[in-house]
Chains A and B, each alone.
Chain A
Amino acid sequence: MSDDFLRKPFSLAPAPAADEATTSNYASGASKFSSGPVSPYLNYDSRYLQRAQPEFIFPEGANKQRGRFELAFSQIGTSVMIGGGIGGLAGVYNGFKATNALNQTGKLRRTQLLNHIMKQGSGTANSLGTLAVLYSACGVLLQYARGEDDHVNTIIAGSATGLLYKSTAGLRRCALGGAVGLGISSLYCLYLLAQERGNSSSPKFL
C-alpha cells in the first residue's frame, strides 16, 4: 500500500524533470537513485526515509489536542494582563479625580497618579489572575482525574472556582459565587456548542 501511495504524487507531472535533474547532476550515482522516487531538491537518497510507516500525518488520527495544561499558562497570563490593563485605566481615572479634588500638581501629582495606577492595576490583575489560576488548576485536575477533556470539565471547574474564591466569605456568598461560576461557564459552553454545531454542519452542506 505504501509503495503505490508513494509513487503516485511523484509520477504525475515533475517526474521527467526529476529524472533529468538526477541524471545530469549525479551522473555517477544515477543508477542508485533510479529505483525510488527522488526529488531533485533532496541531496540524499530518499530510500533512507522510513517506508514502513505512513508518511503523512492525517488530521483525523490526531485525537490528542492540546490539553488544559498547555492552555493554562496563556489563559492565566491573558487574564493577568487584561486585569492589569483595566485596573491601570481605572487607576488613571481615579488618580486624576483624586489629584484634581486635592489640587495637587507637579511632582506630587505624578507620584500620586503612579501610586493609583500601581495599586489598582495590581489589585485587579491579582484578583483576575487568581481566578484564572483556580479555574485552570481545577480544570487540569479534572482532566487528569476523569481522563478526558470536555464541556463537563469546564462547567465543574467554573463552579468550583466560584465556590473556592468565595469560600471564606460565608455560606451564602460562597453559594452565590458558585452559582455565578456555574452560570458563566455554562453560558461559555453553550456558546462553544453552538459554534461547534455551526462549524460541523456548514461544510457538510456545502
Chain B
Amino acid sequence: MEEYAREPCPYRIVDDCGGAFAMGSIGSGLFQGLKGFRNAPQGMRRRVMGGVSAIKYRSPAIAGNFAAWGGLFSIVDCTMVGLRRKEDPWNSIISGAITGGILSGRKGKATMVYSAIVGGLLLTIIEGVGILFTRLSADQYRNVVSPPNPQDAQIGLDEFTFGAASANM
C-alpha cells in the first residue's frame, strides 16, 4: 500500500469494484476455507477437500456481491460528486444508503429501507473512524518550516505549510 492513492472519479469505479472483489474473494476464501474445514467429516483428506470445495463454491459468489456493492457505491459516489460539486463524508454516507437500497430492490420496500439504513450507518461508522484517525494523526505530520534567515520569515511563508492531512479517505 506504499503508493496507493485513489484514482480520479470515473476511473475510481473500476478500481473500487476490483478492490471490493479482491477483498471479498480473499477474505471469504479464508473464512469459507476454515468453515468447510471445520464442518467436513472426519479425516484430514476429507477436511482439506471440504475446505477447498467450500472455497470453490461459495467465495466467488460472495466476492461478486462485494464487487457489486463496491462498484455501485462508487458509481453513486461519483454521481454525487458530479451533482454536489464537492467531496465530503456526506457523499459516501448518502451513497452507502442509496447503494444498500438499490441492491435490495427486488426484495420489497421494507427491506430496501432497512438495508439503506444499514448501509448508511456502516458508511457513517467508516467515515467517522477515518476522520478520527485523521484528527489523531494530524499532529504528527505537522510540518515546521524553518527559513534560513528569520527577518524574511514574515513575508508569506506562514501560509505554505505542506503536509496538513486532508480529511478524506
Binding site for B on A (CB under 8 A): 29, 32, 43-45, 47-48, 66, 69-70, 72-81, 114, 122, 125-127, 129-130, 132-133, 136-137, 168
Contact = CB atoms under 8 A, between A and B. Distances in A.
B18 A72 contact: yes
Interface of B: 1, 3-4, 7, 11, 13-19, 21-22, 25-26, 52-53, 56, 59-61, 63-64, 67-68, 71, 106, 147-148, 152, 155-157, 160
Given A168-B52, A168-B53, A81 B14 contact: yes
B40 to A, nearest CB: 15
Contacts of A29: 155
A72 B4 CA distance: 11
Contacts of B152: 32, 45, 47
A70 B3 contact: yes
24 contacts: A43-B156, A45-B155, A66-B3, A69-B4, A73-B15, A73-B19, A73-B22, A74-B11, A74-B14, A75-B18, A77-B19, A80-B17, A80-B18, A80-B67, A81-B14, A126-B60, A126-B64, A129-B25, A129-B60, A130-B60, A133-B22, A133-B25, A133-B26, A137-B26
Contacts of B11: 74
Contacts of B56: 168
A30 to B, nearest CB: 13
Main secondary structure of the interface of A (DSSP, over half): helix
Contacts of A73: 15-16, 18-19, 22
Contacts of B60: 126-127, 129-130
Q: Which 6 A-B pairs give the minimum distances between C-beta atoms?
A: A77-B18, A76-B18, A126-B60, A77-B17, A77-B14, A73-B18
Nearest to A127: B60
A167 B44 CA distance: 19
A32 B22 CA distance: 57
A130 B61 CA distance: 10
B16 A77 contact: yes
A22 to B, nearest CB: 13
Contact of B21 (A45, A69, A76): A76
A185 to B, nearest CB: 19
Given A77-B16, A122-B64, A48 B22 contact: no
A129 B14 contact: no
B22 A136 contact: yes
Given A48-B157, A80-B21, A133-B22, A125 B53 contact: no
Q: Which of B17, B61, B71, B148 has the most CB of A within 10 A?
A: B17
B91 to A, nearest CB: 20
A74 B8 CA distance: 13
Contacts of B59: 130
